[in-house]
Amino acid sequence: MDAWRDGFAEGFPLLWPLREVAAAAHGPDWPSRATMQRALDAAGIRTTSGLPLRLVASMVDGLSYEQRLFCRGELEFRERNWHDLFNVLVWLSFPRAKAALNARHHAAPAVSLGRGPVRDALTLFDESGLIVLSADGHLLEMIRGFGWKELFWTHRARVIDGMLCLPFGHALCEKALSPYKGMTGHSLLFTVEPDFFRLSPAAQLRETDARVAVHLADPGAILDTRELAPLPLLGIPGWCVANGDESYYDDRQQFRLGRRTRQQRHVSSPLVMKGRA
């Protein structure tokens, strides 16, 4: 594409929360590392360890990506790279949640082989995570039960009016630039009060960031990848032209009848979000 903004011009609906954040990076060309650093500085983004987030070039210094971020506040950023650009945009959109995720990575016990189940789950959410919020618990139950046609077609109006899907995984955002059949988000499911849907989009993001951060900070949460509910993104009403036809949801290659050995958790917050704008 001629300019990085083209990726948002007609963009996939998944990317809407990031568009206003991206608009702060002026100019027709790709935002430089310095441009994105100014955006982070202006927003006061910090790690849970209290360090301001600082963008650096890729490096090899014996520290892992997460260690460098937690101990030094350094985030690797390759210029003209969608993956890294989306990572910074998600930091700007969900700063508390991203910081909490990094802290969990840093606190996770070392394992002799691989990253271990906790860090595998955290990494999956960081890369491919989706946040789903609804005041209608039945809709969330249909996600956990793989009831895709019932959810997205039979209860289509309820999904449109009462369910919000927000991108968190920066790899998922990158994939959304060229969506494909079977593209899947790995979701955290949250029950919210009905008043949540009367908030402004900016207030919805703030509230979502706060409650996701609390959940990620809980050492008893996200212990296994099976706790993240898979969700076929192109099934969400309005996310592609084809899903306006009932028969679209009969495609078992895309809308699979999964079996889970562990039921995905969802979070019900006691917060009643009123009077926020």
Question: pLDDT tens digits, the chain, 277 residues: what are they?
Answer: 335 555 554 445 567 667 666 766 555 678 889 989 998 999 999 999 999 999 999 877 778 889 999 999 999 999 989 999 999 999 999 999 999 999 999 988 766 556 789 999 999 999 999 999 999 999 999 999 999 999 999 999 999 999 999 999 999 989 988 888 889 999 999 999 999 999 998 899 999 999 999 999 999 999 999 999 999 999 999 888 899 999 999 999 899 887 554 445 555 543 333 333 3
- From residue 151, alpha-carbon distances to 54, 133, 135 in Å are 42, 14, 14
**What is the pTM assigned to this prediction?**
0.87
Residue 160 makes CB contacts below 8 A (sequence gap 6+) with 237, 238
- Torsion, Cα 101 130 262 163, to 10 degrees, reads 130
- CA 196, CA 217: separation in Å to the nearest integer? 22
DSSP class of 216? H
φ/ψ of residue 222, rounded to 5: 50, 65
The pairing of strands 54-56 and 266-268 is unpaired
Residue of 98, 120, 115, 110 whose CA lies nearest to 48: 98
